[in-house]
Homo-oligomer: A and B are copies of this chain.
Amino acid sequence: MKKIIALGIIALSLAGTASAQVKPEEQIKYRQAGYSFMSWNMGKIKANLEGEYNTQQVQAAANAIAAIAGSGMGALYGPGTDKDIGEVKTRVKPEFFDPANGPDIGKIATNFNTAAAELAKVAAGGDKAAVQKAFGATGETCKACHDKYRME
């Protein structure tokens, strides 16, 4: 079971022995922090697409999303992080930890990384229509995971 979870983590992204030292409750907080910070940056890109477009701001926001996506968040779903720990609440669904879903989660995570990297790439170019498209595609990958693996 431990091994299967470890495999799932690697599938999600890169994992390191180093991450093992992080307590389960800290893992939950860090993953929520990562998602929360990405959502701030998605919101900024959305506002830029709907209003005045500032290439530098969109680029910085897209870089943050791509770098967070690529930072190995899979390591923050270690053993013991599948349910609330005291005051630290989690909205992850138990399905996320079902080994049978490993391939599906791996695919979702890979799509997410690819979409975020593409968003950062086009944001650097400053072509608003291309950013609009890549932004939509990235949002789809967030939603793909939430629909299946995050509680309401």
Q: What is the interface of chain A, defined by CB distance below 8 A to chain B?
A: 14, 16-19, 21-22, 26, 29-30, 32-34, 36-37, 40-41, 43-44, 47-48, 51-52, 54, 56-57, 60-61, 63-64, 66-68, 70-72, 76
Contact = CB atoms under 8 A, between A and B. Distances in A.
Main secondary structure of the interface of A (DSSP, over half): helix
Contact of A18 (B44, B72, B76): B44
Given A18-B51, A34-B37, A57 B44 contact: no
A16 B37 contact: no
A34 B37 CA distance: 6
A81 B58 CA distance: 24
Nearest 5 pairs of A and B residues by beta carbon: A18-B47, A67-B67, A33-B36, A33-B33, A64-B71
Contacts of A48: 16, 18
Q: Which among A54, A70, A71 has the greatest number of chain B C-beta atoms within 10 A? A: A71
How many identical subunits does the complex contain? 2
B44 A40 contact: no
Contacts of A18: 43-44, 47-48, 51-52, 54, 57
